Amino acid sequence: MEKQMNLTEDMFQPVSDNFKEAEKIARPSMSYWADAWRRLKQNKLAMFGLVIIILLLIMAIIGPYLSGYSYYEQDFTKKNLKPNAEHWFGTDTSGRDLFTRAWYGARISLFIGFMAALIDFLVGVLYGGISAIKGGRTDNIMMRIAEVLYAIPYLLMVILVMIAMKRGIWPIIIAMTITGWIPMARLVRGQVLQLKELEFVHAANAMGANMGWILRKHMIPNTLGPILVNLTLTVPTAIFAEATLSYLGLGVQPPQASWGTLVNDALGSIHIGNLYQLYIPAILISLTMLAFNVFGDGLRDALDPRLRN
């Protein structure tokens, strides 16, 4: 038989009669968004992507003014100069400063990317939300229309629209958003269909709230996590699509520049060894896509409520 342990008075501690201290929360409460930001900051790769995005936006604003040259000024006596102290990124085949054109191109490419993502967000959330809320025959018809449009190859649709319209920034944005909103609409529809069956939606409906108010106050805020992640991944997709169009000669009109037009212009001078004209816009495009993708992945993890602790 095991020997019993002798209990002494030193082994015990009196319980405090201060109920306020007993009920005090050891850790302060934290909102969903504050906790998401805290976990996002702990993801070093995502923060690296966010810093790169911020730096690109800053350089897109101030970069064209730093070198002292305009993006359209031609000087054929200085054409195809390699990077030097005067022209930091060198010059192109027309003697234009590539540093200025690269950051002016960043302004156009990022503007197209953000505007395309914003339009996809607005149209997709509205279309997908209405489709899920209405349900039944309305939902069936709306989603069949979206599926027919989505069956058309994206790049083919964009090229056909660009051929039919004049070249410019807004025609590019319109061409990319004709079918670009459909993935967002399908995402929102799936999220809203899940939320429709939850108790708080039934309670709000039973208290007399209309579905438009429920969609605006309850459903869309509860689907913002996946929507924001999809939004961050839409921007680099639009930038790459614009670069592809500009590479095919369907981008912005000269002398305007985007990263795609810089790549297209550089093709004519590759055979004489001016690879820097190709590398600079290619690196900027790759860096932008990497930054948005790693930031989007980190944002997805930070907004996932299952990972809260």
Mind listing the pLDDT tens digit for each residue in 94-110?
889 999 999 999 999 99
What is residue 21's predicted lDDT score, i.e. its pLDDT?
A: 57
For 18-64, what is each residue's pLDDT tens digit? 655 555 555 566 676 787 788 888 889 999 999 999 999 999 999 99
Closest CA to 255 of 44, 115, 127, 95: 95
Closest CA to 282 of 250, 247, 234: 247
Q: How confident is the model at residue 216 (pLDDT cuts 50, 70, 90)?
A: confident
Q: For residues 146 and 300, which has the higher predicted lDDT (pLDDT)? A: 146
Q: How confident is the model at residue 1 (pLDDT cuts 50, 70, 90)?
A: very low
Peptide bond into 255 cis (omega under 30): yes
Closest CA to 294 of 20, 52, 114: 52
What is residue 169's predicted lDDT score, i.e. its pLDDT?
A: 84
- Joined tokens for residue 65: 């003014």
What is residue 60's predicted lDDT score, i.e. its pLDDT?
A: 93
Question: Which residues touch 31 (CB under 8 Å, ≥6 apart)?
Answer: none
| Single-letter residue type at 179 | T
Phi-psi region of 167 (alpha: psi -120 to 50; beta: other; left: phi over 0): beta
Q: In the chain, what are the domains?
A: 53-68+85-307 (1.10.3720.10)
**Average pLDDT of the chain to the nearest whole number:** 82
Question: Which residues touch 82 (CB under 8 Å, ≥6 apart)?
Answer: 90, 274, 276
